[in-house]
Amino acid sequence: MAKIGTLNNAISEYRRNFYNIYHKSIIPIFEQYEIQRKNKVLFVVITCLILLAFILFMVVDICTNPNPNDGDVLKYILGTVALIALIFLPIHENNKFVSMLKNGCMMQILTAFGNISWVENVNMITDFELNNSDLFSTYNRRSSADSFKGVYKDVDFSISETNLKYETGSGKNRRIYPVFKGVVIKFEANKIIKNKTIIATRGDNNIKRNNPGLTVTIIGLVCYFVSCFFDQGLNLISIMVILFIGFIVFLACKIFMNQTNGILKREILSEVKLEDPEFSRKYVAYSSDQVEGRYLITPAFMERFKNIETAFGTHKVKCSFYRDSIMFAISTDKNLFEIGNLYHSLKDPKQMTIFFNELASILALIDYFKLDEQTGL
């Protein structure tokens, strides 16, 4: 309970710093952007009204002249272009304004949270790290929006708004399957984690839980050579060659695995039975070591895990403890880390409160593990 109280005090401190900077520094800047925002909204409204009037004129003209001629083809083209512009102009202008607002204010806002940098459209977390966490199934398309990187209380962390998809086929056979959309958070653990533990929302099938290990790879290769020798007929020499090849493959894989700190090894994860029945109804935990898994998933951690859901307004969260890192993946279709947009007054602090809750909940997780340094993990 003392740890939870300390964490709540830390969040209160973030809040005070955040709103001090917001009132002293950000509101005066927002007042300048508010003027630009109103001008842009006026431009969008007038342009959309003109486009709408043109489209209605085209519709009336086409309806009153049911027999089209060569000149009407141009009208159809212009009408279609006007309709596309009517749909996409408000979205385009909003995206431009949001990007301008973030570039003008984001770094100053982030001073309330310490040493944090922000970039757009950059993969702050590598594909190697995503794959090593086992939180995601196979993907071959990736894009990123807002990303943050920094050091908080001597802990390095990265945050990336990420969209993962798996694409197959081409042309008419092209298919795109969603794998993950939301925010990925990675930070250093306070100690080396000997095994792998994963927590996911029940029903989330986009995790790699049971991965084939080195043995399966060797068996596959040996079976391939066996099939080759079967074509020629088996004899004593053939069997000896197969065993020799299997031994060489095994030895080579072991040497390579040692040189890469064992990253080729994929543990078989089994379900961990948790003491909290409410948490277990919603989430499922897997670990390659039951004792360490239960030791990591403490009541205080479960409380912070549920707070992430509340802060991001989602019902799908997963987490991986692996090697020297902890990774969270929070699924959501919302645009995260927004500090304002074109169609809401910047004088309303609601969006800034949402931004604070999103970022503070992440830093509270880091605080939790920072305070947990003496647990002996």
In a domain, 123, yes or no: yes
Q: Is 7 exposed, middle or buried (0-12, 13-18, 19+ CB in 10 A)?
A: buried
Q: Are both 45 and 146 inside the same structural domain?
A: no
283 and 190, same structural domain? yes
Question: What's the mean per-residue pLDDT of the chain?
Answer: 79
How many domains are contained in the chain?
3
* 322 inside domain: yes
Domain that holds residue 276: 114-207+268-337
- Among 112, 146, 173, the domain boundary falls at 112
Same domain, residue pair 23 and 84: yes
Same domain as 94, residue 7: yes
Looking at the structure, tell me whether residues 320 and 250 fall in a common domain. no
- Which of 74-88, 236-250, 330-344 shows the lowest mean pLDDT across its residues? 236-250
The answer to whether residues 20 and 79 belong to one domain is yes
- Angstrom CA distances, 214 to 239, 254, 257, stand at 22, 8, 9
Q: Is the pTM of this model over 0.75?
A: no
* Residue finishing a domain among 230, 259, 288: 259
Residue 152 counted as domain residue: yes
Same domain, residue pair 231 and 198: no
Per residue in 33-61, pLDDT (tens digit) is 999 999 999 999 999 999 999 989 888 87
Considering the domain boundaries, does residue 376 fall inside one?
no
Q: Are residues 81 and 44 in the same domain?
A: yes
Would you list the DSSP string of 325-371?
EEEEEEE-SS--S----TTS-TT-THHHHHHHHHHHHHHHHHHHHHH
The verdict on 16 and 154 lying in the same domain is: no
Q: Is the pLDDT of residue 82 over 70?
A: yes
Same domain, 198 and 302: yes
Indicate if 192 and 89 belong to the same structural domain: no
Report if residue 80 sits inside a domain: yes
Poorest-confidence range of 220-229, 279-288, 300-309? 220-229
Phi, psi values for residue 283, rounded to 5°? -125, 155
Same domain, yes or no: 255 and 195: no
Asked which of 174-188, 245-259, 285-299 is least confident by mean pLDDT, the reply is: 245-259
Tokens at residue 113, please?
Answer: 């949270």
352 belongs to a structural domain: no
Residue 362 lies in a domain: no
DSSP class of 27: H
pLDDT of residue 261: 37
* Domain annotation covers residue 90: yes
Residues 109, 26 contacting (CB under 8 angstroms): yes
